[in-house]
Chains A and B, each alone.
Chain A
Amino acid sequence: KAGVTQTPRYLIKTRGQQVTLSCSPISGHRSVSWYQQTPGQGLQFLFEYFSETQRNKGNFPGRFSGRQFSNSRSEMNVSTLELGDSALYLCASSLTRGSYNEQFFGPGTRLTVL
């Protein structure tokens, strides 16, 4: 069974631009969560999507948004990029929602903001 895929793998943008990242979950998985990983803050939860609806959101500004499509694929968007947005963005998929669902991570998208 194929794992979680993310595109693109690497991205370089300049301040003020916007970016869209894509995630395809494991086949059959309906929940997609997004995380940001930086050396200083570690892994931090951004948001979770299930059945095309945002179910939970972490403590990030409104510049960070996302959506989920009917085939469970998800995109996240960051507008008006700041230098501090440079990070590894990870998508994780799970079968469904709830506390007892294991999350499996994709390879991530490395975003560099210049």
Chain B
Amino acid sequence: QKEVEQNSGPLSVPEGAIASLNCTYSDRVSQSFFWYRQYSGKSPELIMSIYSNGDKEDGRFTAQLNKASQYVSLLIRDSQPSDSATYLCAVKLGGADGLTFGKGTHLIIQP
């Protein structure tokens, strides 16, 4: 079964450190990958999209994609307490309808 997997956490990171969130997916032909942030009681908010192997940086966020290893990650530099949320990895799996989401990683930034 095609799927997207994430460690549910919680992942606890001290303020100012780098938070590293990981995601693996099952389908080699997947083409597009997205990271969403979801605060408790709110809807998912798009943070990053990445389509090619390598790194993509946007402010404090860096997405990394390795299609050969079927692995995508999100790095958050200089973590702030406001980064505490659930981070959802979403993949457009080959042949699948719609985005397939992981269950999310709960990130806690400790002041």
A binds B: yes
Chain B positions near chain A (C-beta within 8 angstroms): 31-32, 34, 36, 42-46, 49, 51, 88, 90, 92, 97-104
- A43 & B88 in contact (Cβ 8 Å cutoff): yes
Known A-B contacts A33-B98, A43-B101, A45-B97; A100 and B32 likewise in contact (beta carbons under 8 Å): yes
- B98 & A48 in contact (Cβ 8 Å cutoff): yes
Residues of A in contact with B, size category: 20 to 34
Query: Restricting to A66-114, which residues have a CB under 8 Å from any CB of B?
Result: 88, 90, 99-100, 102-108
- Excluding A43-B101, A56-B98, 6 further A-B contacts by CB distance (< 8 Å) are A42-B104, A43-B88, A47-B98, A99-B31, A102-B46, A107-B43
B46 to chain A, nearest CB (A): 6
- B34 & A105 in contact (Cβ 8 Å cutoff): no
- B31 & A105 in contact (Cβ 8 Å cutoff): no
A residues in contact with B103, CB < 8 Å: 42
Of A46, A47, A100, most B-chain CB atoms within 10 Å: A100
Q: Is A57 in the interface zone, CB < 8 Å from B?
A: yes
What does DSSP make chain A's interface, helix, strand, loop or mixed?
Answer: strand
Chain A positions near chain B (C-beta within 8 angstroms): 33, 35, 42-48, 56-58, 88, 90, 99-100, 102-108
Of A35, A48, A99, A102, most B-chain CB atoms within 10 Å: A99
CA–CA, A106 and B43, complex, Å: 7
Task: Indicate which residue in B43, B49, B104 contacts A102 across the interface (CB closer than 8 Å).
Answer: B49
A40 to chain B, nearest CB (A): 9
B residues in contact with A105, CB < 8 Å: 36, 43-46
Known A-B contacts A99-B32, A100-B31, A100-B32; A58 and B99 likewise in contact (beta carbons under 8 Å): no
Residue contacts A-B, CB under 8 angstroms, 19 given: A42-B103, A43-B88, A45-B97, A45-B98, A47-B97, A48-B97, A48-B98, A56-B98, A58-B98, A90-B43, A90-B44, A99-B31, A99-B32, A100-B51, A102-B49, A103-B46, A105-B36, A105-B46, A107-B43
Task: Indicate which residue in B42, B43, B88, B100 contacts A45 across the interface (CB closer than 8 Å).
Answer: B100
